[in-house]
Structure 1
Amino acid sequence: MEKYEKIRVVGRGAYGTVHLCRRLSDKKAVIIKQIPVEQMTKEERQAALNEVKVLSMLSHPNIIEYYENFLEDKALMIVMEYAQGGTLLDFLQQRNGNLLEEEEILWYFAQMLLALQHVHLKQILHRDLKTQNILLNKKKNVVKIGDFGISKVLSSKSKAYTVVGTPCYISPEFLDGFNLTCGTYNQKSDIWALGCVLYELASLKRAFEAQNLPALILKIMRGTFAPISEHYSEDLRSLILSMLHLDPSKRPHINQIMVQPIIINAIMNLHTDLGKIPCTRIHRPLSNMTASAAAPTLRSRLSIRGNTGARDTLAEKLQALSSVYCWGNGLILPVKIPIPSSDTQVIQVSTGRTQKTAVTKNGRLILWESSTVGTDTMIPGAIESHSQAFIPRYLEGQSAVNIKRVVCGDLCIACLTDRGILMTFGSGANGCLGHGNYNDVSQAKIVEALLGYEVVQVSCGASHVLAVTNEHEVFSWGRGDNGRLGLGNQESSASPQAVPIPDHLQPLAVHCGVDCSMIVTLDNKLLCCGNNRYNKLALDEITEDGLCIRPLEEVHSFSVVTAPPIGNALIACVAIGMSHTAAVTVEGQCLTFGSNQFGQLGHEGNSRVPQLVKALEAMKITNVACGDTFTVAVAGEGDLFSWGKDSRGRLGRSVEDSTVPKPVIFLDEEPFSVVSISCSHGNTLVATRPLHRPGSPI
């Protein structure tokens, strides 16, 4: 809400509160609908999302304009146009019984027709048209249809089957005797409601009113209403009668209404410059985000000492609940990077090509921005020394939102709240943000298409994303070549798409590689799709004696790995590098497969058959992570081993025997356990906690 100033509350409803606000950038008055999604069920959340989804699809001068949405104080905030003239109902009531001229009625009605035509062309049903939902501009000469909270987006020309709408405007086909039923609702039902509004314009009262619901239903079913004033033309009376015909098949289609002579004239008389649609907003790119005001203070606390980088004082070291280390990209040994305070407890980390992130125990998201600190010298011919400094800041606009997981792609970040809501921000290239477009987003924004689901885990690849829900549904979006989305084709998508999974399998976790994807199921099976070059997906046909008899280069749908030894093992977790994969079984064994060009498999040879990492056979491996051409494994609670390509500090240790798993070197540190580990391209990020806290028993 830092971009808006609240003025007053202008309404309250079943789903939330409506605020009149001022946009600080241009002092424009806007409406912000506050919907507390955090406490809603999945169904209620889907209903709240519906208005955002519908409004974002519509762009018309006679429809309330949608600006944006964001998450604030555990609520979905929908920002939309403010109609200063109030509702059409207020306008009619203020006339004190003085009827409108027919020309005025047709002026308003023509605008409603144009708006509803636009809605129906988008295969959307409004389902709650009434004078309370029709708004006016300040001069009260422009109509704005609003409140699409219960609208229905049709995937085809099917009908909607739900009980919706205001009783006075419900069509007769939706009723059965004196009971509301789950009848069928289609475009002709919107025509009925619009006919009721037209009648109200001509009579200043509702077509169907009664003291109780059974009496109201009886009136609607009989189609009985008082005739409008004889002051109006026969054409207007006939139009109302046709729109309120009991048989929906005999009601006119919206295009048939628009070609009637009195309506054509009204449309022609509308000013062509009413309600011009503003240009699309330009999103601020991720690269323009500024560090927090505390950054200079944090920077001044850093001390650089050789290759070991930033170090805290002994007092800070003893007090810290967590430590975060990174190496690679020129950092030869693990460097402890600063966290906002000593009482910050980090529970999960993720690193991408350009960013480092972490989640704290209290649900805050930390982002580190890197800068190069240079040491100038006046000696001629001397080489300037550079070291990296990492400056932490909390995610902006995260008030009252608890983040439980974060994952980084190449240029985007996805974070998951404790209520199963997925938010993304960063570069919109390839549609990786899942917002239905390719715009960059500088602040975390809800993936609206998934708001009706409870997402439990998410993974980002270089240019695609996968998410899994608590009901074991999988969604994918982003770049689609090589079949990495698992949709059975190579099409890309900027919006989440449901991934077909065999009925007997229940996905538990998803993992994205550069050009492929993997799923670990509830019964510890492995499913893969995408590019299988070097057999990095273990999809080759392999015999029990380890002979590869049929290589497979590419798969467009998720396929179960059946070939031994992966097919015979129970997989606990996997990690995917550029051209290789590491898997950990429930017994704690580590198997690797794919390219071994740089020794990233931890054994000799280039066989396409997955093999056990013999050097770690005696240890229980609890976690594994893969960078571009290297691998890092966690043994027990806190022993880290690395192997593979050794350039630019990828391994976090000396380069001897780089293709053999050897311990990562942590200098002058007390024992710790590894909480979380993440690798990407040439760097690694690790969160730890001390094994012994001051004052605790040893």
Structure 2
Amino acid sequence: MSKKEKTHHQKQKSKDKKGGFMSFFKKKKDEEELVISDPRDFEQITHVELGDSGLTGFPPEWREKLIQAGLTDAEINTNEDSAKLVAASGISNDNGTRTTFTNGKEEDDDITQYTTAADPDENYENLAKTIYGDEDEYMATRKSDGMEVSLRRMRITKKTKRAVVREVVVLSKCVNDNIVKYVECYLINDMLWLVTELMDAGELTNAIDLHPTLPMKECHIAYICKRVLQGLVYLHKMGIIHRDIKSDNILLHHKGTVKLSNFGFAAILTSAHPNRNSIVGTPFWMAPELIKSQNYDTKVDIWSLGITCREMADGTPPYMDFPPMKALFQITTKGIPPLEGTWDDKFKNFLNKCLNPDAPKRASAEELLQDPFISMECTEEEFIDFLTQVRKLSDEEMAQEDEEIPAEE
């Protein structure tokens, strides 16, 4: 959501607070709610087979989609297997650039054992829209102890059920300083409200959006990476793959804390299923082995962290100007272009370890925590100062955009 949209939502704050929580919980079922992203215009083409020599058959509609995505006939013909894999993924070029995609048919969980039956108005007060969250996120205060919480509403449909339920199941299992703290959830009229601790500085994306004015320094990137890696070490030891590491899913607090969030597309590995092969994640952050639908494990999170580092360094991930299908094609055939500009060799070497296309040789989260680049981190006080600058600039931009939005009659 753009800053202008966030500003517009702030105009609704006093209106939103009327009637307490139940005015939001009892929304009509036919009210439009789009919270969890799903593939659109997905077509299952059956006249392609995977044999010992690779994919055979190339439907003309696939070639047409690839051409529309900006690939040339020469590129397709030279890298036919990669082109087929990208086309077969089902990813649409019409999806938003930051939209999470999944074509996996994975196990469902039961959410009823996690839901709270009480009236949320009995437990929380001071409901208001979050300033730096998305349009479906609210903040409130827990009456029992004054804890500030986030309440994120998610419509449960056939398409969104697995992601919504998985979010609750995984978060409820996690207790770690670098993973957002789960509190409880409510389910009323097919709308789930997920209650977690409030990360009042919002998504890391908010800071990256200011890149032209306030570019991130290596010390800030190292500070964030250390805390993300600490969260990943914890998850990976539990056999959990996040599968959607990106700046949108890294939350910040004005006191300097950094935490992973949004586990709707996570996978839980077991001895019976030590790998996955579903195409899940956001295209520009996807690892090559995941794009190719090969067996993969926790190393896909490391690749996504590397792309997130590039996002922090450059302002956007590589290939962001391309349609999703072409971006996937570039990742699998050309890899990630080198980092431009004056950067320390420690940072460049760290990136190379994250973005090694050979997954078995890619560094683990534990190994990366010991990397020399992490020692370049700034102090907590310096990071808090950075967040203060981010907040000041964000507020100035939102105030300026607020003046451009016509007043509601």
Q: Taking structure 1 as the reference length, what is the TM-score of the superposition?
A: 0.35
**Could you tell me which residue of structure 2 aligns to residue 196 of structure 1?**
307
Deviations 1:585-641 (A, max 9, x none): xxxxxxxxxxxxxxxxxxxxxxxxxxxxxxxxxxxxxxxxxxxxxxxxxxxxxxxxx
Query: Is 1:143 aligned with 2:258?
Result: yes
Which amino acid in the other structure matches residue 4 of structure 1?
Y
**Could you tell me which residue of structure 2 aligns to residue 31 of structure 1?**
150
> What secondary structure is seen at the aligned counterpart in 1 of 2:140?
strand
Query: Is 1:169 aligned with 2:285?
Result: yes
Which amino acid in the other structure matches residue 195 of structure 1?
G
**Could you tell me which residue of structure 2 aligns to residue 8 of structure 1?**
129
**Could you tell me which residue of structure 1 aligns to residue 192 of structure 2?**
76
Query: Runs ≥4 in structure 1, deviation > 4 angstroms?
Result: 266-271
Q: Say if 1:144 and 1:222 are closer, same or farther in 2 by CA, change over 3 A.
A: same
CA shift, 1:26, in A, is 3.5
Contact 1:59 1:65 (C-alpha < 8 Å) held by counterparts:
yes
Which amino acid in the other structure matches residue 172 of structure 1?
P
Contact 1:97 1:204 (C-alpha < 8 Å) held by counterparts:
no
- Unpaired runs of 5+ residues, structure 2, are 1-119, 385-409
Equivalent-residue separation in structure 2 for 1:60 and 1:164 (angstroms): 24
CA shift, 1:208, in A, is 3.1
Which amino acid in the other structure matches residue 26 of structure 1?
D
Determine which of 372, 375, 381 is the counterpart of 1:261.
372
Query: Is 1:118 aligned with 2:234?
Result: yes
Determine which of 243, 249, 256 is the counterpart of 2:360.
249
Contact 2:278 2:290 (C-alpha < 8 Å) held by counterparts:
no
> What secondary structure is seen at the aligned counterpart in 1 of 2:134?
strand
What percent of counterpart residues are identical? 26
**Could you tell me which residue of structure 2 aligns to residue 205 of structure 1?**
316
Task: Give the alignment of 1:480-629 within 5 angstroms.
Answer: none
Which amino acid in the other structure matches residue 134 of structure 2?
G
Which amino acid in the other structure matches residue 54 of structure 1?
V
Q: Say if 1:84 and 1:219 are closer, same or farther in 2 by CA, change over 3 A.
A: same
Contact 1:223 1:246 (C-alpha < 8 Å) held by counterparts:
no
Which amino acid in the other structure matches residue 137 of structure 2?
V
Contact 2:138 2:152 (C-alpha < 8 Å) held by counterparts:
yes
Equivalent-residue separation in structure 2 for 1:173 and 1:50 (angstroms): 23
Equivalent-residue separation in structure 1 for 2:297 and 2:340 (angstroms): 30
Equivalent-residue separation in structure 2 for 1:205 and 1:45 (angstroms): 30
Query: Is 1:51 aligned with 2:167?
Result: yes
Q: Say if 1:266 and 1:114 are closer, same or farther in 2 by CA, change over 3 A.
A: farther
**Could you tell me which residue of structure 1 aligns to residue 7 of structure 2?**
none
Q: Say if 1:149 and 1:229 are closer, same or farther in 2 by CA, change over 3 A.
A: same
Which amino acid in the other structure matches residue 345 of structure 2?
E
> What secondary structure is seen at the aligned counterpart in 1 of 2:202?
coil
Task: Give the alignment of 1:378-393 within 5 angstroms.
Answer: none
- The structure with the greater share of residues assigned to helix is 2
Which amino acid in the other structure matches residue 148 of structure 2?
A
CA shift, 1:124, in A, is 0.5
Equivalent-residue separation in structure 2 for 1:30 and 1:242 (angstroms): 37
> What secondary structure is seen at the aligned counterpart in 2 of 1:228?
coil
Determine which of 256, 263, 269 is the counterpart of 1:154.
269
Equivalent-residue separation in structure 1 for 2:282 and 2:258 (angstroms): 20
CA shift, 1:119, in A, is 1.1
Which amino acid in the other structure matches residue 234 of structure 2?
H
Query: Is 1:65 aligned with 2:184?
Result: no
Contact 2:318 2:337 (C-alpha < 8 Å) held by counterparts:
yes
Contact 2:219 2:377 (C-alpha < 8 Å) held by counterparts:
no
Q: Say if 1:222 and 1:266 are closer, same or farther in 2 by CA, change over 3 A.
A: same
Equivalent-residue separation in structure 2 for 1:126 and 1:152 (angstroms): 7
- The structure with the greater share of residues assigned to strand is 1
Q: Say if 1:123 and 1:231 are closer, same or farther in 2 by CA, change over 3 A.
A: same
Contact 2:218 2:376 (C-alpha < 8 Å) held by counterparts:
no
Deviations 1:310-343 (A, max 9, x none): xxxxxxxxxxxxxxxxxxxxxxxxxxxxxxxxxx
Contact 1:20 1:29 (C-alpha < 8 Å) held by counterparts:
yes
**Could you tell me which residue of structure 1 aligns to residue 78 of structure 2?**
none
Q: Say if 1:267 and 1:120 are closer, same or farther in 2 by CA, change over 3 A.
A: farther
Which amino acid in the other structure matches residue 171 of structure 2?
L
Q: Say if 1:259 and 1:268 are closer, same or farther in 2 by CA, change over 3 A.
A: farther
Q: Say if 1:164 and 1:266 are closer, same or farther in 2 by CA, change over 3 A.
A: same
Determine which of 195, 204, 209 is the counterpart of 1:93.
209
Contact 1:160 1:184 (C-alpha < 8 Å) held by counterparts:
yes
Q: Say if 1:231 and 1:98 are closer, same or farther in 2 by CA, change over 3 A.
A: farther
Task: Give the alignment of 1:436-455 within 5 angstroms.
Answer: none
Equivalent-residue separation in structure 2 for 1:8 and 1:268 (angstroms): 32
Contact 2:223 2:378 (C-alpha < 8 Å) held by counterparts:
no
> What secondary structure is seen at the aligned counterpart in 2 of 1:193?
helix
Equivalent-residue separation in structure 2 for 1:237 and 1:97 (angstroms): 23
Contact 1:127 1:164 (C-alpha < 8 Å) held by counterparts:
yes
Deviations 1:253-296 (A, max 9, x none): 22221222332x3579679xx9xxxxxxxxxxxxxxxxxxxxxx
Equivalent-residue separation in structure 2 for 1:154 and 1:267 (angstroms): 32
> What secondary structure is seen at the aligned counterpart in 2 of 1:11?
coil
Equivalent-residue separation in structure 1 for 2:373 and 2:324 (angstroms): 35
Equivalent-residue separation in structure 1 for 2:335 and 2:190 (angstroms): 47
CA shift, 1:98, in A, is 4.2
Deviations 1:407-427 (A, max 9, x none): xxxxxxxxxxxxxxxxxxxxx
Query: Is 1:227 aligned with 2:338?
Result: yes
- Unpaired runs of 5+ residues, structure 1, are 177-181, 275-698
Task: Give the alignment of 1:615-654 within 5 angstroms.
Answer: none
Deviations 1:383-403 (A, max 9, x none): xxxxxxxxxxxxxxxxxxxxx
Q: Taking structure 2 as the reference length, what is the TM-score of the superposition?
A: 0.58
Contact 2:275 2:297 (C-alpha < 8 Å) held by counterparts:
yes
Q: Say if 1:172 and 1:268 are closer, same or farther in 2 by CA, change over 3 A.
A: same
CA shift, 1:132, in A, is 0.8
Deviations 1:433-471 (A, max 9, x none): xxxxxxxxxxxxxxxxxxxxxxxxxxxxxxxxxxxxxxx
Equivalent-residue separation in structure 2 for 1:255 and 1:163 (angstroms): 25
**Could you tell me which residue of structure 1 aligns to residue 69 of structure 2?**
none
**Could you tell me which residue of structure 2 aligns to residue 20 of structure 1?**
139
Contact 1:223 1:245 (C-alpha < 8 Å) held by counterparts:
no
Structure with greater contact order relative to length (CA < 8 Å, sep ≥ 6): 2
Equivalent-residue separation in structure 2 for 1:160 and 1:202 (angstroms): 30
> What secondary structure is seen at the aligned counterpart in 2 of 1:22?
strand
Equivalent-residue separation in structure 2 for 1:23 and 1:150 (angstroms): 28
Q: Say if 1:199 and 1:36 are closer, same or farther in 2 by CA, change over 3 A.
A: closer
Contact 1:173 1:183 (C-alpha < 8 Å) held by counterparts:
yes
